Structure 1
Amino acid sequence: MPITLDLSGEEIANKSIGPGVRVVLRDPRDDEALAILTEVEDVYHPNKVKEAIEVFGADDPAHPAVAYLRNKVQDYYVGGKIQAIQPPTHFDYVALRYTPAELRAHFNKLAWRKVVAFQTRNPMHRAHRELTVRAARQRQANVLIHPVVGLTKPGDVDHYTRVRVYEAIMAKYPNGMGHLALLPLAMRMAGPREAVWHAIIRKNFGATHFIVGRDHAGPGKNSQGKDFYGPYDAQDLVTKYRDELQIDMVPFQMMTYLPSTDEYQPVDEVPKGVQTLDISGTELRRRLKTGAPIPDWFSYDAVVKTLRESYPPRLKQGFVIFLTGLHNSGKDTVAKALQVTLNQQGGRSVSLLLGDGVRPELDTRTCSRNPPPVSHLLIGSVMLASCTSSEERSKNLQRLAFVSAELARAGAAVVAAPVAPKAASRDAIKDTVLQTAGPGGNFFTIHVATPLAHCEATDRAGVYKKARSGELKGVAGVDEVYETPERADLTVDLTKQSVPEIVHSIVLLLETNALV
């Protein structure tokens, strides 16, 4: 599994990084030195396509690690030998964090000779408890619950909530059977290869056995709607390298509930014709977001209570209304009217993010060297086109996405109205909100599809006139293509509907989703 130090060309040039140079690696949270790259040996352009295929099995952006490789990883890799200085400082769950040596010593102190390790990135429920207890009893061993608290799959439950769940479920184990420790690991969702990596890590932490379930560390579906890896590919690969790994794999099928006997069994041991019940992760998240009941057979009261605390009722969840359209399409007017309407209804704070109001706060570089005439400042979303490059406009939309997600995560209603002419930028904003806003990850795209001819005919600011004369660049509809949203939640047109009618239709959309 590649562990890489990626840097931009600008960073390499500014810091004069090259062969023979020593580089201090610092924690971005507190600037503490963690390690030294004692001598740079290589600075090179990686072949990201080859890396994706070799590590993840496909160069498919539907795989979260491939998407990260394509969109986040910088253009250069820097290689060399590393000398450790100190581990990172953690301020959360300190008592649950161990180095490999510390955890091995803890097992020795408890006289645990056999330890079955269980890897997870999700909250645990009754089925997980039954699975791990069964695995331990079959091998006369103890259980290490070893969840990942670093980067996991986008959309996963945050680790603070998960650790409270793990603490609650540890009380359900037989006395002295289990121990909880946290693993600060960035998962790659690399399936079979990652399963081998996880086995090596657990061996280092003192485990003698490692549970590998169905589709271990799988990322879900690829771009063709098929699974990236086979359901038991991970088990097969760990078995193949068992002698080299020196840790025994515990293969397990999915556990399912049998209401007739009030017990859990592996699916391959259930007699034919016997009724079974299951709740998928997707269904659980739906029930948490909507407040639907979660049955006792699925989880414990303490676990459900903890999860409910992190998933407020729908009426308290944040959301983002994302209005996109041409300049002078009326999206700003609709946004302001919607803000007033939502404020009137009450129940949550409402934040309005318009181009001309937000941009100077998010990007201090905007027009700072060459301020435009006052008339340009009134143009709002076009001001950015006249002052910044396409790359800088894209970065500003990323900042808008970050702010929107943070506000929605805190329970606010966010009304944003950038032009955002590119489908890729709009998709990126939506993904950011869905993946990072937690229970506030409710996103609605409203396409304000007022025709260009009407936008131009009623343009009192003269933006289109200036764009056609060449005085302004980057104006959507003139010298930049506006890519029509293909999957908008609502499409409106100010030549056919009044502003109150449009606002009413948006409110109805929110009501349909139980958010107002």
Structure 2
Amino acid sequence: MSDSRDRSGHEAAPVFAPDPVSLAHLELILSGAYPLAGFMTREATAGVVKHGRLPDGSPWPVPVTLPVPDELADADRLVLTDPEGAPLAELSVGQRWWSGSEGDADDAGAPGHRLAGEVRIVQPPVYGALRHLRLSPEQFRGQREFAGDGGAPVLAVVTGRPLHHRELHQIRAAADELSGEHRAEVLVIIDAPLESAGMAPVVLAAEPLLPAPARFVVVSLPGACSEDSTALSRQRRDLLRAHVARSYGATRLLVVDGPGSAAAEPAAEDAPIPIVRAPEWVYDTTEDLWRPAGEAAPEAAAALPGEAEVEEMLALGRGLPAWFTPARVAAELARIRPPRTERGLTVFFTGLSGSGKSTIARGVAEGIRRSGRTLTLLDGDVVRRMLSAGLTFSRADRDLNVRRIGYVAAEITRHGGVAVCAPIAPYDATRAEVRAMVEEVGDFFLVHVATPLEVCEARDRKGLYAKARAGEIPEFTGISDPYEEPRDAELVLDTADRSIGESVAQVLEALRAGGWLPAESA
């Protein structure tokens, strides 16, 4: 966020990089995938949240808002940029409003300032993974017209998940049903994060197995498939997909979201194109083939491995069953999700000062080195001197220190190494940010060294607790500032009645059991 003067010397509009959700909305607005001119007013947002309607009465499933920090709440114009600072659009502010707590809420996001108004494109986006596949609807429709496919019906599938045999059979059957005078074209809209390819390479691996002609585009649908507090209901998620699919010329949306009760749910109303849920297909073990569920005896249907089971098989280096997924898809899954012994990993220790986390981390680092893995130890005190020199111990600077550690750890993890980190990291939100950074590129293993405060204070090797009690150190974790105990730790250690060696052994055993270290390592 910054501002400057334009070429004529007048005060330029402030520059602001939206959060990932708002940035995804912005790209969809600018590309024409959304039938919107900009970010919504409070009234429009409330109408969408409560009734699924825009002010003109037309159906729309998701609030499209722009949260901004306090210092931008009074801006009349705003230049919106990508995370690298390249300008994308200019917002002409038509309304400033406040989204409050849940009781009075408007967009279900965090409380704060919102700006509403139309956006004007400044330059096409270049930031983000798979940019060559992030075609605008106009570009995509132009390609179809040039290829002579403009008159064919288009079956759209919007997914961020692999297309296994089950989904491929569902798509082929739906395409056959839609075909008439012209064979239906299949359009796979891959929902992928802006910052990474996600599962897109795995989805693309299925291209030769889809009915021709099949085409692919990549978009980022903000929160449409997430499970956070702003997650959409299934119906609203399908409506958003249908709106985006229609903008690309689709005439029907096929929903292939996993086995179970999806087909029994009522169809979304007011969809811009027909939405159909794929009938269930099963693998008939008596005939060794896939067929519609109604054509196979229930006892003959093979149990499909769930996402967690697939992840565990990949993590342990086991091949996926050939009846379950095509070899091309399995190979691409194995490439992007190699066995844990080959994956990048961050082992992140958190705990009070004096808990023993640094000493345990050094012992664990040595054990990981002996296993043959490339390792970097990012100890809190060392990082403070080398990476975060000049930072204070205010909450903001402590958070920044942990984020810097997380960034470096994520880069180590991205390239297949192991990062062992041992900061205090007292706040849940900051630890969650680090976990998210790392899990975009590898694995994250959180160890809570849960040594009680009284034990840590009794040790007080550096005399810090005594100074904090005397008021010489403000905002000291555990004394004058809180330590938020993690609820998502993969391992909890209490060193009060356990030796350092025992704690180190417990961590190494957990890493071996999880598949990150070979079983024979010590």
Q: TM-score, normalised by structure 2?
A: 0.75
**1:99 alignment partner, one of 136, 139, 164:** 136
**Which runs of structure 1 show a deviation greater than 6 angstroms over 4 or more consecutive aligned residues?**
none
Match of 1:259 in 2: 285
**1:441 alignment partner, one of 440, 443, 447:** 443
Match of 2:89 in 1: 35
The alignment yields a C-alpha RMSD, in angstroms, of 3.2
Match of 1:181, SS state, is strand
Match of 1:479 in 2: 480
Question: Is the Cα contact below 8 Å between 2:403 and 2:434 reproduced in 1?
Answer: no
Match of 2:209, SS state, is coil
Any idea what the Cα deviations from partners look like across 1:52-97, whole Å, max 9, x if unmatched? 7x77xxxxxxxxxx6xx33xxx721111122234331268655534
More helix by share: 1
- Number of aligned pairs? 443
Question: Is the Cα contact below 8 Å between 1:316 and 1:347 reproduced in 2?
Answer: no
Match of 1:290 in 2: 316
Match of 1:4 in 2: 65
Aligned-residue sequence identity (percent) comes to 27
Aligned 1:216-255 pairs, distance under 5 A: 231=262, 235-237=266-268, 240-242=269-271, 245=272, 247-255=273-281
Distance 1:104 1:479, change over 3 A: closer
Match of 2:3 in 1: none
Question: Is the Cα contact below 8 Å between 2:346 and 2:438 reproduced in 1?
Answer: no
Any idea what the Cα deviations from partners look like across 1:264-323, whole Å, max 9, x if unmatched? 334455444433331222221221111122011111112211111112222222333333
Shift of 1:201: 1.5
Question: Is the Cα contact below 8 Å between 1:210 and 1:249 reproduced in 2?
Answer: yes
Any idea what the Cα deviations from partners look like across 1:93-129, whole Å, max 9, x if unmatched? 5553432122223333225421111111112122221
Match of 1:405 in 2: 410
Match of 2:471 in 1: 470
Matches of 1:252 and 1:495, distance apart in 2: 56
- Indicate yes or no: 2:216 matched with 1:180: yes
- Indicate yes or no: 2:336 matched with 1:310: yes
Distance 1:167 1:506, change over 3 A: closer
Matches of 2:94 and 2:493, distance apart in 1: 58
Shift of 1:351: 1.9
- Indicate yes or no: 2:197 matched with 1:142: no
Matches of 2:77 and 2:338, distance apart in 1: 49
Matches of 2:80 and 2:487, distance apart in 1: 44
Match of 1:301 in 2: 327
Q: TM-score, normalised by structure 1?
A: 0.76
Give the residue type in structure 2 aligned to 1:498.
S
Matches of 1:404 and 1:483, distance apart in 2: 22
Question: Is the Cα contact below 8 Å between 1:394 and 1:425 reproduced in 2?
Answer: no
Shift of 1:455: 3.4
Aligned 1:188-203 pairs, distance under 5 A: 188-189=224-225, 190=232, 191-203=234-246
Any idea what the Cα deviations from partners look like across 1:213-243, whole Å, max 9, x if unmatched? 4589xxxxxxxxxx9xx84587521xx214x
Match of 1:45, SS state, is strand
Match of 1:204 in 2: 247
Match of 2:197 in 1: 159
Shift of 1:340: 2.8
Shift of 1:460: 4.2
Give the residue type in structure 2 aligned to 1:351.
T
Match of 1:322, SS state, is strand
- Indicate yes or no: 2:386 matched with 1:418: no
Matches of 2:128 and 2:444, distance apart in 1: 30
Shift of 1:202: 1.3
Unpaired stretches in structure 1, ≥5 consecutive residues: 56-65, 153-157, 217-226, 368-383
Question: Is the Cα contact below 8 Å between 1:107 and 1:206 reproduced in 2?
Answer: no
Unpaired stretches in structure 2, ≥5 consecutive residues: 1-61, 226-231, 518-522
Matches of 1:28 and 1:463, distance apart in 2: 39
Give the residue type in structure 1 aligned to 2:510.
L
Matches of 1:268 and 1:392, distance apart in 2: 61
Shift of 1:9: 0.6
Matches of 1:500 and 1:403, distance apart in 2: 28
- Indicate yes or no: 2:116 matched with 1:79: yes
Matches of 1:467 and 1:361, distance apart in 2: 25
Any idea what the Cα deviations from partners look like across 1:349-398, whole Å, max 9, x if unmatched? 2222222222355546514xxxxxxxxxxxxxxxx3xxx1x344334334
Distance 1:275 1:2, change over 3 A: closer
Shift of 1:138: 0.9
Match of 1:281 in 2: 307
My pick for the range that moved more, 397-406 or 116-125, is 397-406
Give the residue type in structure 1 aligned to 2:410.
A
